[in-house]
Amino acid sequence: MVDFTFCVPTRFIFGKGSPAKAGEEAARYGKRILIHHDGGDYLSALLGTVRRSLAEAGLEVFELSGVVSSPRLSLVLEGAELCRKEKIDCILAVGGGSVMDSAKAIAFMAVNEGDFTEYVSYKRQSEKCLPVGCVVTLSGTGSEVSSTAMIVDDIRDPIIKRPLFQDAIRFRFAILDPSLTLSLPMRQTLSGAFDAITHVMEHYFFGDSELQDRICEAVIVASMDNMRAVIDRPEDFEVRAELQMAATLANSGLLGLGGQSDWAMHYMENPITTATHQPHGSTLAIIAPAWMRHCFKRNLKKHADFARKVMGVPSLGSDEATAIAGIDAFEKFLTEIGLPTRLSQIGVTQERFAGFAALAAETAGSQRVGGVSRLTVSEIVEIYRLAS
C-alpha cells in the first residue's frame, strides 16, 4: 500500500425533503447566492423548494441556467464574470453531473486569473475557489464528492473535453434526496449507475490491497444488483438510495486509497461522448468490456478475481479462461439491462477511431493514456475496434 493523504471536506445532507435545507446550508457562506442549473422544466418544483429555502434564510438569489450535457467553457466563463459583477458569495448547483461540474468550474474561475487551460490536467494548482454546494438530481457521476470538473472547451479548435483537477473545487455541502431520481428516464438511471461502476473499476484493476479489493467488489456487485432491481421497481426509494450512495462512494477516493488508479476508460470515452452527445455511462458501457479484453493479461489474477467474485463465474482451469468468461458475463449483463456494448450502436464508424484516439491523448495530456495501463494511441484505436 502506497502513502496517501485523504480528505473529503464535503458535508452530506441525505434524505427525503433534504432540498428544503439548502438555505441553512448556503447561509454558512454568505448572503449572495447563485443558483446554477440547466433550465429544464423537470426542475420547476425542486427549484421552487430551493428558492423558498434560500429566501427564508434571508439570502439574495441570482440564477444562471443553460447547462448542457458535457458542460461548456463558454458558460463557465459567463458565470465567472457574473459572480465577479454581482459579488456572489456562494454557488449552488441544482442538477446532475454536468451542472455540478459547471458550477465547480465557475466557482474556480471567478477568483483565479489566467486562462482555463492553464489549470487543467494538474498543470497549475490554486487554493482559491468560491464556496460551492449542490442539490443532486442524478446518481452516477459522483461529482458531488470529487475534486474534478470535466468541461468542454468550446472556444478553441478542436472542441475537446478538459479535466479540471483542483482540491479547492470540492463542494462544501451536498444535498442528496434519492426521491429526486424517481422520475429519471430509465436509460439515464442505468447510465449513471454504470458510470459509478467504472469509477470503481478504474481503481480495482490496479490496486493491490485485499481490503480495498473487497470493498470495490462489494460496491460493484451491489450496484449491479440494484440496476436490475430498479428496472423492476423504478419507484422503489430504497433501490434509488442504494444507487445514489454507491455513486457517491465510488468517486469519493476512498476506494482507491493506498493504490494506483488508471482512468484510461474515461479518457477513451470522453471524445466519443462529446461528439455524439450520448450519456456518459452509456459510452463507458461500450468502452469498458473492450478495454478489459485488450488489457486483461496485464493483471490476469485481478481479472480472474473479478470473474469469480463479481460475476460469479466458476474457475475454469486457468486464470485466462476464467477472466475471459468473466468479461463475457459482464458484457452479457450490460446487454440484458439495455446498455449499448458496440460503437456501431451509437453510430460511430471506424474512420473516426484515429481522430478520437488522438483527442483521448490530448485530453489526458500525454501520448500514453491511463495512469497505469499507459495505452498508446494505436492501442486505443485497437480498443475502439474491439468495441466496434
Domain count within the chain: 2
Q: What is the rounded distance in angstroms from the CA atom of residue 64 to the CA atom of residue 93? A: 10
Q: Quickly list H helices, 233-315.
A: 237-250, 264-276, 280-295, 300-305
pLDDT at 228 over 80: yes
Residue that is last in its domain, among 180, 198, 215: 180
* Residues 107 and 231 placed together within one structural domain of the fold: no
**What's the whole-number mean pLDDT along residues 117-135?**
96
Residues 134-186 pLDDT 10s: 999 998 999 999 999 999 999 998 899 999 999 999 999 999 999 999 989 99
* Residues 283 and 140 placed together within one structural domain of the fold: no
Residues 359-371 pLDDT 10s: 999 999 899 999 9
pLDDT at 1 over 90: no
Look over the chain and give the mean of its residue pLDDT values, rounded to a whole number. 96
| Secondary structure class of 47 (helix, strand, coil) | helix
Angular region, 140: left φ>0, alpha ψ -120 to 50, beta rest = left
Q: What is the rounded distance in angstroms from the CA atom of residue 130 to the CA atom of residue 127? A: 10
Is 198 part of a structural domain of the chain? yes
* Residues 166 and 205 placed together within one structural domain of the fold: no
Is 232 part of a structural domain of the chain? yes
> Which CATH number characterizes residue 107's domain?
3.40.50.1970
Is 24 part of a structural domain of the chain? yes
The residues that bridge with 163 in the sheet, in sequence order, are 150
The pLDDT score that the predictor gives to residue 207 is: 86
* Residues 202 and 171 placed together within one structural domain of the fold: no
The pLDDT score that the predictor gives to residue 86 is: 98
Strand arrangement, sheet containing 11-14: 11-14, 173-176, 132-136, 90-95, 32-36, 60-64
Residues 54-99 pLDDT 10s: 999 999 999 999 999 999 999 999 999 999 999 999 999 999 999 9
The boundaries of the domain holding residue 334 are: 185-386
The pLDDT score that the predictor gives to residue 129 is: 98
The pLDDT score that the predictor gives to residue 164 is: 97
* Residues 57 and 195 placed together within one structural domain of the fold: no
* Residues 176 and 191 placed together within one structural domain of the fold: no
**Residue in the block written with cell 468517486:** 251
* Residues 96 and 195 placed together within one structural domain of the fold: no
C-alpha cell at 84: 465577479
Is 241 part of a structural domain of the chain? yes
* Residues 167 and 233 placed together within one structural domain of the fold: no
Residue that is last in its domain, among 159, 180, 201: 180
* Residues 16 and 156 placed together within one structural domain of the fold: yes
Residues 291-321 pLDDT 10s: 999 999 999 999 999 999 999 999 999 999 9
The pLDDT score that the predictor gives to residue 3 is: 85
* Residues 118 and 189 placed together within one structural domain of the fold: no
Is 3 part of a structural domain of the chain? no
Is 101 part of a structural domain of the chain? yes
Is 124 part of a structural domain of the chain? yes
The pLDDT score that the predictor gives to residue 208 is: 85
* Residues 238 and 355 placed together within one structural domain of the fold: yes
Residue that is last in its domain, among 118, 152, 180: 180
Question: Within 10 A of 381 (CB to CB), how many other CB atoms are there?
Answer: 18
Residues 233-284 pLDDT 10s: 999 999 999 999 999 999 999 999 888 899 999 999 999 999 999 999 999 9
* Residues 74 and 159 placed together within one structural domain of the fold: yes
The pLDDT score that the predictor gives to residue 258 is: 86
Is 65 part of a structural domain of the chain? yes
Residues 243, 223 contacting (CB under 8 angstroms): yes
> Which CATH number characterizes residue 294's domain?
1.20.1090.10
The pLDDT score that the predictor gives to residue 43 is: 94
